[in-house]
Structure 1
Amino acid sequence: MDRCYKTLIVSLLVLGNVFVPIKQIYALEYYYLDNETEDCFVQVQEQEDKKEAVINLNDEEIMLLSKLVAGEARGESYEGQVAVAAVVINRVKDSRFPNSLEGVIYQKNAFSVVKNGTIYTEPTSSTYRAAQEALYGNDPTNNAIYFWNPDISTCSWINTLNPYLRIGNHVFAK
């Protein structure tokens, strides 16, 4: 059950109209500032069984992941955004990739948003929630470690992979 409390916030990082992480007491918890009314809320979504994070990330890393999702999954459905975040998390867990979020995201030629500079795209509340949801185990890709848009991809090696899932404009492979 969702509960929303009006509260005073002493220190709060606000990026536009974006949810900002606070300590994980429940599975998902975040601040929300309504820029129009300047009301501030704490939104708590309780779950009967609190899930553990799939990997440990600090608040800055979650924000980085949400920025990557904002750049790579711009215009995609929420499920597509969660899927992109899940691929990044799956790479962190996979021994063939760097074992840190930053290492995976900034690995040479790994993500177009790093190469073209859109990694600094402002995250949205949706991309932040998608990053959180993937962090807590939602993986609509069933452990994919690659995704690409076949309509715009220019990498020839990607054609050696066998995509097994399509979500929006992206296909996914292991």
Structure 2
Amino acid sequence: MKPILSIIMAFLLMCLTGCAEIATTANVSARVENSADAAITEITIPPTATPAQVYSAAEGGQAEAFALSGGGEPGLTAATPSALPLPSETPEFTPSPAPDPTPEYTVEPVDDKKAYLNAGSANLREGPGTEYAILEELLELETLCVTGKIEEWYRVEAGNETGFVLAEFVEFGTAPTPKPSFSVKSMDDKAAYVNAGSANLREGPGTKYEIVVELSRNEKITVTGTSGDWYRVEYGRKKGFISNEFVEFGAPPTATPRPTATPKPDVTAEATPKPTPTANASNGSSSWEAARDYFSDTSRFTAEELLLIAQVVQEEAKGTSVEARAAVANTIYNRYLSSKYPNTIEGIIFQKNQYTVADDEDEIRSVKPVEKTIEAVTQIFVEGDTFLPEDVLFFRSASRGTSWGDKREYYATYGNNAFFRSFY
């Protein structure tokens, strides 16, 4: 009977142990669900019995069930497990904003058209819209080349840059030449005449203004006002401006008629020696006296030579700056230093086909140089302050371009003249 009882008791103990484990699991789950924020500090687990060892009668002993415990008595001891960790919260991810995509556009190409900016200024941009970066600021009347169009924008070339500008700021064609403003101080009408070989009557007081008419030497004019270095004048029904250096007040000089040649006598008479001329007459005074009104003799050049140089410079560079006049004087000086030209000033000036303004000697010697010309000639021939290389021997009107045969190389432009080196 005892073996049967032992088996029954062992079976009951096993059942109790299984139930306790199920209860413990349910208890933990309930606590986690009811309080996710509460920390579990202690869990009491029902006693778990060590499975009984069963000895059958066949093994020679009585079956005896017992459980291993701390006190030797069957039962359970409460266990204190470590606190269970709570699940940590996952941080919320905030994505970075995506950059705005560059807008796409299609440009309608057009045949290149010359144009200019008709506004005071406008921005040239990388694309057809104000959201695009500015490449540069365009100024009024700046030349453009239109190469495409998209809506209200033109694609243009401006110098070395290509970009977009609003169509409302673009005008097709050639930009007009701006006419600067000027003021004129009126004066009482005075009779005068042109004292140069020729002079231009212009629409305004400056060489940038259009020419109305070209006046010849001794043309009569009426001066009515002044504007800087220019006179406002009337020439017949024409009105305009002329540089004051070409104007002389009063009546033009009367040309002295040349005497009629006396016929040679049939009998050969003894030749009478001609007196040595002292100087050429010019407006009632000798060239010697006239020269000393402008220059003094130097160790290398006489006053007469300096005056002749100034008269040529006056005609070749009229209406220009002191620097432009000095450039003409510098070429004469370079020829004086060169072995390829005559070794006197007169020989250089009157050399055939060189200075057309000196073709008529009487006319060139009657020219009255102005202060700018005197300053330029003094700089080069008296002070020796030259600035052109010695091989710059030629010049001509800048309007004829910068190419002049195979034996001359363009050097620079001063005033109305372009200057060239010589390869001779």
Into which bin does the TM-score normalised by the smaller protein fall?
0.5 to 0.7
Q: Which position in structure 2 is the counterpart of 1:139?
A: 386
- Alignment-mate amino acid for residue 133 of structure 1: Q
Residue 376 of structure 2 is aligned to residue 130 of structure 1: yes
| Secondary structure of 2:405 counterpart | helix
How many angstroms does 1:159 deviate by? 3.2
Unpaired stretches in structure 2, ≥5 consecutive residues: 1-287
Structure 1 residue ranges, 4+ long, deviating more than 4 angstroms after superposition: 12-15
Q: Which position in structure 2 is the counterpart of 1:3?
A: none
How many angstroms does 1:140 deviate by? 2.9
Q: Write the distance in 2 (CA, Å) between the matches of 1:162 and 1:116.
A: 30
Query: Which among 274, 295, 303 is matched to residue 21 of structure 1?
Result: 295
Q: Contact 2:321–2:372 at 8 Å: present in 1 too?
A: no
**Counterpart mapping for 1:10-159 below 5 A:** 13=289, 20-22=294-296, 56-115=300-359, 119-120=364-365, 121-135=367-381, 136-143=383-390, 144-151=392-399, 158-159=404-405
Give CA-to-partner distance per residue, 1:59-114, whole Å, 9 cap, x none.
Answer: 10000011011011111111010110110011011011111111111000111211
TM normalised by structure 2 equals: 0.28
- Alignment-mate amino acid for residue 321 of structure 2: S
Q: Contact 2:309–2:377 at 8 Å: present in 1 too?
A: yes
Q: Contact 2:313–2:328 at 8 Å: present in 1 too?
A: yes
Q: Contact 2:358–2:364 at 8 Å: present in 1 too?
A: yes
| Secondary structure of 1:172 counterpart | strand
Q: Contact 2:357–2:364 at 8 Å: present in 1 too?
A: yes
- Alignment-mate amino acid for residue 386 of structure 2: D
Change (3 A) 1:125 1:106: same
Q: By percentage of residues, which structure has more helix?
A: 1
| Secondary structure of 2:357 counterpart | helix
Q: Write the distance in 1 (CA, Å) between the matches of 2:389 and 2:293.
A: 27
Q: RMSD in angstroms over aligned alpha carbons?
A: 2.7
Q: Which position in structure 2 is the counterpart of 1:8?
A: none
- Alignment-mate amino acid for residue 314 of structure 2: A
Q: By percentage of residues, which structure has more strand?
A: 2
Q: Which position in structure 1 is the counterpart of 2:10?
A: none
Q: Contact 1:78–1:130 at 8 Å: present in 2 too?
A: yes
Q: Write the distance in 2 (CA, Å) between the matches of 1:104 and 1:14.
A: 21
Change (3 A) 1:88 1:112: same
Give CA-to-partner distance per residue, 1:94-147, whole Å, 9 cap, x none.
Answer: 011111111111000111211366523211122112111111222232221111
- Alignment-mate amino acid for residue 338 of structure 2: D
Percent identity over the alignment? Answer: 27
Q: Write the distance in 1 (CA, Å) between the matches of 2:302 and 2:296.
A: 10
Higher relative contact order (CA 8 A, sep 6+): 1
- Alignment-mate amino acid for residue 170 of structure 1: N
Unpaired stretches in structure 1, ≥5 consecutive residues: 1-11, 25-52
In the alignment of these two chains, the number of paired residues is 128
TM normalised by structure 1 equals: 0.64
Change (3 A) 1:114 1:137: same
Query: Which among 155, 171, 174 is matched to residue 418 of structure 2?
Result: 171
Which is higher, the Rg of structure 1 or of structure 2?
Answer: 2
How many angstroms does 1:22 deviate by? 3.3
